Amino acid sequence: MSKNDRIFKFENKPAIFSCGTVAGKKEWEGALGGVFDCHSEDDTFGMPTWEQSESEMQRLALNHALAKLSWDSTELGLMFAGDLINQCTSSGYGLIDFDVPFLGLFGACSTLAEGLILAAFIVNAGYVNAAAAVTSSHNCSAERQFRFPIEYGGQRTPTSQWTVTGAGAFIVGRRSLLDVDEKLISAKSAPPNQPSPLFTHIRIAEAMPGRTIECGITDANNMGAAMAPAAADTLLRYFKVSGTKPDDYDLIVTGDLAFEGHRLTSELLAQKGIHLGSNFNDCGLIIYDRERQDMHAGGSGCGCSALVVAAEILPKIDRGELKNVLFIGTGALMSPMSVQQGLPIPAIGHLVRLIHD
């Protein structure tokens, strides 16, 4: 085991208290449909430009997450946020009103995992009682920046992924707060026949940040293939160091390799004798009804894993349907310029272990 093959264990029990989700029209109509906190019928969220729409989504997401705890933003000691747009302007503008110390991130689609890891670090260390991890992506702003004008009539290849219009905000706090903080105690005691708005049983147990891996893939329309080795690398290191095997987990979910990357990750790991079974899934495959919505390989973008983790996986962990989950946020760290210059796409996979506790 080399020094950098280290699993960070969080002894002081950082927990995920709540999350806020904001989705676009396609995501609302997708396979998860209707479980998000709010959505926009025209994806504009009432804003004049797509970039501003994305900022608005981040603002709404964090608002929803805080509202579920009956908190205002002064309870947050720090927030981590990132998105796909140049210089992370969606986060910069979107979270401006919260007056919380802000650290911006870029990890492409892995931003959520990166934010959760950092929030868990900072809460575990005791510097703050609670921190937020916020991320977003918007199909139209991403198309404009990375591909073609939105109304341009082109055909997408079957391996291409559809950038999700979605934002998610996650509040990570010290577990003991749930029994101490008055606002949380009153928020917890929801009326008997209503589901509790906040999570009380989700703990971030471990994290293993990924290494940048570049494997020669230059095709920006096949990001899954570029990210698969990064996901495989992190998983292999994790299994090796922890001494566990895939069957030990209720769910191993990557976000978001989509169809191609999901298949390649399984194949890469199979060659090392690690066989991922039916408990291996991917956020890019979960979010849409791929056939009906003609989504090609599946979803991508920071918002994809944010929506799936917040709306599908966390509630299940909270209810105890899933007890031990590995979430690997994968990101393709290219820019339009690096792709045009023909450089291969570097990728990363950050692992977070979430447990029911």
Partner 1 sequence: MFYINEGNKANNNSVISFRQVIFIYKKDYKKYAEQTAQKSNAFTNCIKAFLVGGAICTFAQWLYNMFITRMSEENTRLLVPTVLIFLAALTTGLGWFDKLAKHAGGGTLVPITGFANAIASAAIDNKNEGWVLGLGAKIFTVAGPVILYGTLASVIYGLILYFIRLAGAGGAA
Residue ranges binding partner 1 (CB under 8 A):
2, 48-49, 144, 148-159, 211, 213-219, 222, 225, 228-229, 232-233, 236-237, 240, 259-260, 263-264, 267-268, 271-272, 297, 344
Helix (H, G, I), strand (E, B) or coil at 325: strand
With contact defined as beta carbons under 8 Å apart, do 347 and 230 qualify? yes
Residue with smaller CB distance to partner 1, 49 or 74: 49
Least Å from the CB of residue 272 to partner 1:
6
Residue 183 or 292: which CB sits closer to partner 1? 292
CB of 6 to partner 1, least distance (A): 13
Instruction: Pick between residue 177 and residue 213 the one whose CB is nearest to partner 1.
Output: 213
State how beta strands 202-208 and 8-9 pair.
antiparallel
302, 111 contact by CB (below 8 A): yes
Unique residue bearing structure tokens 């004798």:
273
Smallest gap, in angstroms, from Cβ of residue 246 to partner 1?
16
Residue 126, token pair as written in the block = 């005791």
C-alpha 143/C-alpha 338 separation (Å) is: 16
Based on CB atoms, which residue is closest to partner 1, 171 or 348? 348
Distance separating alpha carbons of residues 113 and 123, to the nearest angstrom: 15
Distance from C-alpha of 126 to C-alpha of 76, rounded to nearest angstrom: 13
CB of 192 to partner 1, least distance (A): 48
Shortest Cβ 164–partner 1 spacing (Å): 19
CB of 252 to partner 1, least distance (A): 17
Sequence letter at residue 171: I
Which contiguous run of DSSP H or E holds residue 171?
strand 166-174
Name the residue nearer to partner 1 (CB basis): 268 or 308: 268
Determine how β-strand 280-282 pairs with β-strand 251-255: parallel
Nearest residue (CB) to partner 1, 47 versus 103: 47
